């Protein structure tokens, strides 16, 4: 069942919305930390390779499947698998995506809530002054005060879910496209200013040589690079199938793919330049072991460093606002994947789907919100050793290490081997012109290169390597 009026993005609207979906906490928090962990330039290079060889072909495949069928993931698979023996089974991949969207949003919104809290915190520091005692107590305040307060965690998670629902309920153009069209340019402008400011920071030179210095490549950097590409580009769960279903026939899928992959990578690099310039500007003796706890450096180390720098009082609230915007444009897309399923497949109204699904995701996020110290059992549970302790880590582990790579593998196999060549070629050429050779390269990369790379990553996960 396809609802009569699903909505369509304008050309710019699609690029901004899909970039908004991709650009998020993955770029601003995960990417810089991972780059640090893997010694800088080597990881950047591996990541670029993963985006080009694995990410871009899957992104084009997802957008193509969405636009062709004008449906969200479950319907898209059902439609395209018609005539294939056992074709209905493919819709399970769509289901996996809807489930992944539900799960990822439930804990992502908890972290997104922290960013809102920090905009407020930084404003109060910037106005009221940031005393050295506050800097010293920052980590304790965050870990023992904020994270362990169930009320705070649930309130900010709820607030973020409400903002997300408030956008999605307005629909594809009036909600999603409009919010992305406002927030994404602001995000680019703020980040550009911050990069310019970073160029004048004493730590800039060290940051650049760190980011572009090549060292030996180890296997774990390659695995992390692939995992990061999936998460950062929002692939493997049908988010791009859903957004692709709102792409107009006149637009070119290859062009949109290049734009979105390029913008996502650019923002990750820009965020890294800013963060490392700040970090390297502060002398080692003062900054200490900056990355001792990677998950919270954005909230414990960075604010402290900001207030040690000239102009930091202005930059810090603005920086956290930028992170809020990046997170919101991603949570919108996560919710839309699930909401679109209920609208397309069950015929629900957008309002009904948004409120029921949003409430469900909020409820599912509560155990994550309480698993950062507020509730003993939820914080210490460890049903899967590799996932680490706590409900929050368990969800992140299952979604990032399993659902996205498995989803991506199946999407690649389906698009590469099961979709008819004339159909995929026709879609890739719409709004673009003849693409005989690129189409063949794309098809063979989905048939062979992408599955081989993902199977290798999955084998590594089974072998005990985690990349959350």
Residue 355 class from Cβ within 10 Å (0-12 exposed, 13-18 middle, 19+ buried)?
middle
254 binds ligand PFF (CB under 6 A): no
18 binds ligand PFF (CB under 6 A): no
27 binds ligand PFF (CB under 6 A): yes
Q: Which of residues 91-120 bind ligand PFF (CB under 6 A)?
A: 101, 104
Q: How many CB atoms lie within 10 A of CB 26?
A: 25
- Residue 22 or 119 with smaller CB distance to ligand PFF: 22
* Choice from 50, 65, 239, 403 touching ligand PFF (CB under 6 A): 239
Number of H helices, E strands in the chain: 24, 0
Question: Min. distance of Cβ 307 from ligand PFF in angstroms?
Answer: 26
228 binds ligand PFF (CB under 6 A): no
26 binds ligand PFF (CB under 6 A): yes
- Residue 52 or 135 with smaller CB distance to ligand PFF: 52
d(CA 401, CA 399): 6
Could you report how far apart the first and last alpha carbons of the chain are, in Å? 37
Question: Min. distance of Cβ 145 from ligand PFF in angstroms?
Answer: 26
Strand, coil or helix: 71: coil
Under a CB-based contact definition with an 8 Å cutoff, are residues 205 and 300 in contact?
no
Angle between helices 253-281 and 56-69 (to 10 degrees): 140
225 binds ligand PFF (CB under 6 A): no
Size of the site for ligand PFF (CB under 6 A): 16
Question: Min. distance of Cβ 264 from ligand PFF in angstroms?
Answer: 8
- Residue 14 or 125 with smaller CB distance to ligand PFF: 14
* Choice from 71, 109, 234, 371 touching ligand PFF (CB under 6 A): 234
Q: How many CB atoms lie within 10 A of CB 96?
A: 22
- Which alpha helices (H) appear in 27-90, and where do they start and end? 31-37, 41-50, 56-69, 73-80
Stretch that binds ligand PFF, among 18-26, 54-62, 358-366, 429-437 (CB under 6 A): 18-26
Least Cα distance to 180 among 329, 319, 323, 327 occurs for 329
- Residue 261 or 453 with smaller CB distance to ligand PFF: 261
Give the dihedral sign, CA 384/139/114/50: negative
* Choice from 18, 21, 302, 322 touching ligand PFF (CB under 6 A): 21
Q: Under the rule (CB under 6 A), what is the footprint of ligand PFF?
A: 21-22, 24-27, 101, 104, 231-232, 234, 237, 239, 330, 333-334
């Amino acid at each position: 069942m396809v609802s009569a009026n699903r909505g369509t993005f304008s050309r710019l609207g699609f690029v901004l919305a899909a970039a908004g979906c991709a650009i998020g906490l993955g770029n601003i928090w995960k990417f810089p930390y991972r780059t640090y962990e893997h010694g800088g330039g080597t990881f950047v290079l591996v990541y670029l390779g993963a985006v080009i060889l694995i990410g871009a072909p899957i992104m084009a495949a997802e957008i193509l499947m969405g636009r062709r069928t004008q449906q969200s993931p479950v319907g898209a698979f059902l439609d395209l698998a018609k005539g294939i023996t056992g074709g209905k089974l493919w819709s399970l991949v769509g289901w996996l995506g809807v489930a992944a969207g539900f799960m990822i949003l439930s804990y992502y919104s908890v972290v997104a809530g922290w960013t809102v809290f920090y905009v407020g915190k930084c404003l109060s520091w910037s106005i009221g002054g940031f005393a050295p005692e506050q800097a010293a107590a920052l980590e304790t305040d965050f870990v023992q005060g904020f994270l362990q307060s169930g009320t705070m965690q649930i309130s900010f998670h709820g607030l973020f879910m409400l903002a997300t629902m408030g956008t999605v309920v307005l629909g594809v153009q009036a909600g999603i496209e409009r919010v992305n069209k406002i927030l994404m340019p602001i995000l680019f402008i703020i980040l550009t200013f911050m990069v310019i400011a970073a160029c004048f920071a004493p730590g800039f030179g060290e940051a650049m040589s760190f980011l572009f210095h090549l060292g030996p490549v180890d296997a774990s950097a390659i695995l992390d690079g692939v995992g990061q590409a999936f998460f950062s580009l929002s692939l493997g769960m049908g988010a791009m199938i859903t957004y692709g279903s709102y792409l107009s026939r006149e637009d070119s899928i290859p062009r949109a793919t290049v734009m979105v992959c390029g913008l996502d990578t650019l923002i990750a690099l820009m965020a890294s330049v800013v963060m490392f310039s700040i970090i390297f500007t502060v002398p080692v003796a003062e900054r200490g072991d900056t990355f001792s706890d990677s998950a919270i450096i954005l909230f414990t180390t960075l604010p402290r460093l900001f207030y040690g720098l000239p102009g930091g009082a202005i930059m810090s609230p603005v920086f956290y606002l930028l992170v809020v915007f990046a997170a919101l444009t991603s949570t919108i897309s996560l919710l839309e994947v699930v909401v679109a399923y209920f609208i397309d497949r069950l015929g629900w109204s957008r309002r009904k789907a948004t409120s029921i699904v949003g409430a469900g995701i909020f409820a599912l996020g509560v155990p994550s919100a309480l698993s950062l110290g507020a509730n003993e059992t939820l914080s210490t549970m460890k049903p899967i050793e590799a996932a680490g302790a706590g409900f929050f880590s368990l969800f992140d582990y299952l979604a990032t290490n399993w659902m996205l790579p498995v989803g991506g593998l199946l999407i690649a196999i389906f698009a590469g081997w099961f979709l008819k060549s004339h159909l995929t070629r026709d879609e890739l050429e719409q709004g673009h012109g003849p693409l005989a050779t690129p189409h063949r390269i794309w098809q063979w990369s989905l048939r062979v290169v992408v599955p081989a790379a993902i199977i290798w990553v999955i084998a590594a996960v089974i072998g005990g390597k985690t990349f959350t």
